Chain A
Amino acid sequence: MEPMLRGGVVLDCTGRLGWLAGRLLADLGADVTRFEADGADVSSAEWHALNVNKRLVRADLTVPGGRRMLEQLVAAADILIATPEAGSEEAFDHGRLSGINPRLIVVAITPFGLTGPKADWLASDIEIMAAGGAMSLAGEPDGAPLRVSAPQSYAWAGAQAAVGALTALAARWRTGRGQLVDVSAQAAVITALSHAPTFVDISGITPTRAGAYMTGRSVTGANYRVFWPCRDGFINFILYGGAAGRRTNEQLVAWMRERGFDLGPLGDIDWARFTPTRASQAEVDSMELPIGRFIGSLTKREFLEEAHRREMLGYPVSNTADIAADPQLEARGFWQDLPGPDGTERHCGCFVVVDGVRPPLVRPADDTGKIRRQARET
């Protein structure tokens, strides 16, 4: 069946904040043209990973010639994605561009949105993660707020921009017109906070960072350990309730018993009646002591395979090498090999399998002559 966004023409004029948006639309079948100024560095892994599957055009959109070229392309485009900054707002102004093509959808991705008192504030990933509340929830309770070391706010903003672009595309079937999609990266990060805002709103409690523990699951305020040292790293394991938690806890106890580990209080617990929302901290601590001894004897891979076999909840804390070697991803054809400047590049494939087939990436990430030659040969 044909690609879902076949025929969709997307102009990607974004900076780092918006790269993922065009990648997602390209993976879903749109024809995405990516603009980079002459001489702009496109060599980083980050650039390649998020600009693969797009057609690269070298053009400076801040000079009149580049602007004229963009305007010609706008006439036949469906979606233009930009990350307007001081000095480039006019080039991507929806009002002006809709004069050229009233059906054009303009997606503007900025740290705080195009309106409001902080619309002009400077922010990179760390400030956006701070503004969106995510950093207040990551890190040790008595330590500094943390971000994820690989930038996340750009991905949140780009993903929300793709949703916005396609929502506007759906609206166009009804209205016949394009519109402006004004994406706030700060607001996009709030999505990552799960239901944390409801604690402030309903209970007057401000959730805080809990380090390696999970909070917010108990009315007694008890914290549950999440990360357990194992032989070659860490395991993420949590005492859950409900049907799935019951099976996991029962299987863990059975596994420990088979291996001859001391069960402590675990052996006497009726897991069908265990409710994590009501357990006290002392009860949690006494349950976790023997679990820690047991998990400390396992490797990450051992836990992954055996927990799967026993239908238990819990996963190892993977690094990029663990992920790259995961047979599950290999079996699903997640990785896609494309020509790169130094040989083959292995990319994350399209995030969705459509009608049983993962849509293939069709364009390599770089525009060097070498890559173009390789692409023709493959």
Chain B
Amino acid sequence: MNAGVLALDGVKIVEFGGYAAGPHVGKMLANFGATVVHVESMSRPDGFRMQYPPYKDDKPGINSGGCFTYFNDSKYGVTIDLKNPEGRKLARKLADWCDIVIENMRPGVIDRLGLGFEELRKSNPGLIMLSTCNMGQTGPRADTPGFGSQLSALAGFCGLTGAKDGPPMLLYGPYIDYVASTLGATAVLAALERRQRTGNGAYLDVSQYECGLLFLAGSLLEYHTSGKIAERAENDDPDAAPHGTYACLGEGWIALSCWSSEEFARLCGAIDRADLGRDPALATLAGRKAAAARINDALNAWTRDREAHEAARMLQAAGVHTHAVNSVADLFTDPQLIARRQWSRRRHPVIGDQAYCAPAFELSETPGDVTASGPVLGADNERVFRDFLGMSEDEFNAVRAQGAMD
């Protein structure tokens, strides 16, 4: 636990929405000290709770899903029935209390609930609101519903993955959602910076599609400039040879690349094929690309009898770009990730101990932390509504009896 100053101490965030694109923004900020309240309802819980495994003991349950908890650690969880007038009043109080609202409903839905930016800023003039959705709030297809796993195809990622003459390949999960959540976090933080300076709030309209395109900005500029359409190229790279993956002992693989003839010579020395390193035909990038089959044969002959992580250590020692292709399980045993405390185990009332992902960066003075497991549904109603919003016990009970927290 971090006992010192938290980077985002005192920043209050309320999330309306679910799945990945909204909640992951809140998680990133919660890990640096923001107070984040995740709003669901009993009748419409976050879709990540029930629609996606894994579940504790393989039993789907509203509080047994690890997918939901993984993106909602370090937050408070409340239930509000937004279809109930009393529920909407409660949501409004929460929106008045906070600095930032994050929502990822379809465009127009939050307005129809009476929780749109223009409405909320009447009583909270410094409010920052992030609306994130597939296509953005405007445009001819603004109302398109969608999940990130499919949007990753529209935005070009799937078409750029795979062999040139083969089908496109899937990227795991809603890849583009995390591009948008990461960029969305920068937008929220930039808006906070302006608010600190000027007192002004902001309305941030994030299109997950457009965010994804920033990750392919070079390929898109290339097309606009020259008409050249980027194509999937398996693991090839125009500027390096060899450049690819090589099967090792068992199920393992290594990825490696050579960016100069000197590096190639070091590689050849390390795999006991100094003869290739001395071959003038292989001294240039073009020469090595032309002789790819011969080089790959030599590499495969060396890697197939070696354990991937050990092979990578040997080649790194020789000064060659290389790394084992970590399986997802390897991420929990990779000595580098262990040294940097990438995983924090926190106890959940139903799931038990679960590993949560720490931020991708360390701050030297105000480090981040995973402070709690993801909440069970409605776990923090009392804490949030009574302690944060200052409701009396009678008031809380009356509002609850009216179904506002259903």
Contacts and interface: CB of A to CB of B under 8 A. Distances in A.
12 contacts: A5-B194, A7-B197, A47-B218, A132-B326, A170-B196, A193-B328, A194-B178, A236-B149, A328-B136, A345-B224, A352-B184, A354-B203
Nearest to B335: A117
Contact of B147 (A121, A130, A155, A240): A240
A187 B138 CA distance: 34
Nearest to B187: A352
Interface in B326-355: 326-332, 334-337, 339-340, 342-343, 351, 354-355
Interface stretch (B81-89, B254-262, B282-290, B386-394): B254-262
B323 to A, nearest CB: 4
Contacts of A213: 170
B366 A318 contact: no
B27 to A, nearest CB: 10
Interface in B13-54: 20, 28, 32, 47-48, 51-54
A56 interface: no
Interface residues of B, number: 159
A329 interface: yes
Contacts of A335: 224
Given A29-B190, A130-B254, A164-B361, A45 B225 contact: yes
Given A187-B340, A195-B173, A199-B328, A216 B53 contact: yes
B137 to A, nearest CB: 8
A1 interface: yes
A181 B194 contact: no
Contacts of A203: 53-54, 58
Contacts of B167: 211-212, 227, 229, 234
Contacts of B7: 167-168, 170-171, 174
Interface in A143-184: 144-150, 152, 155-157, 159-164, 166-171, 173-175, 177, 179-184
Contact of B172 (A137, A201, A332, A334): A137
Contacts of A212: 167-170
B349 to A, nearest CB: 14
Contacts of A150: 160, 215-216, 218-219, 230
A324 interface: yes
A237 B153 CA distance: 10
Of the four ranges (under 10, 10 to 19, 20 to 34, 35 or more), the interface on chain A belongs to 35 or more
Given A137-B172, A319-B156, A320-B230, A122 B320 contact: yes
A4 B186 CA distance: 11
Q: Which of B138, B231, B351, B365: most chain A Cβ within 10 A?
A: B365
Contacts of A351: 183, 187, 206-207, 210-211, 214
A54 interface: no
A225 B247 CA distance: 27
Contacts of A70: none
A34 to B, nearest CB: 15
Interface string B186-228: 1101111110111010111111011101111111111111100
Given A5-B193, A198-B66, A355-B203, A164 B340 contact: no
Contacts of A323: 154-156, 213, 220
Contacts of B137: 353
